[in-house]
Amino acid sequence: MMPFGGPYNVYPHVRDAFGKHWCGPEQLVAWERTLIARYRREGDDDGDGYDVDVYTTAAPARFYDIEAHAGPDSCGAMRPGFALGTGSGCHEWVAKTAKLISEGMVGPQ
């Protein structure tokens, strides 16, 4: 028997890592890319943060994608979006990185 009820259940410690940003289901579908967290651009309207969505794919190992959406920087210039992907076991890193991207602390060069 798998811990927490099965290989596609959302584990509480994973959901907790995303805190208030969690928007995912309680049960994942095998091999289906699923939106699990949303981080909105933080700070002033003229900040450098991005709107960020986080997806997972359960296989039953969990893989994560971070998508930062295109938007204006603090000077009003449009910036392209970008994406990052991880292997399994990275939920804490993904949650922290998505938050930093939404705050404008991490981005492409």
In a domain, 63, yes or no: yes
In a domain, 107, yes or no: no
Please report the pLDDT score of residue 2 as a whole number. 45
In a domain, 86, yes or no: yes
Instruction: Judge residue 38's burial from the number of C-beta atoms within 10 Å of its C-beta, 0-12 exposed, 13-18 middle, 19 or more buried.
Output: middle
pTM here? 0.90
Number of domains in the chain: 1
CA distance 36 to 99: 14
Domain interval for residue 42: 3-102
What is the identity of the amino acid at 95? A
In a domain, 108, yes or no: no
Residues 99 and 39: beta-carbon distance below 8 Å = yes
On the question of pLDDT at 16 being above 50, the answer is yes
In a domain, 19, yes or no: yes
In a domain, 109, yes or no: no
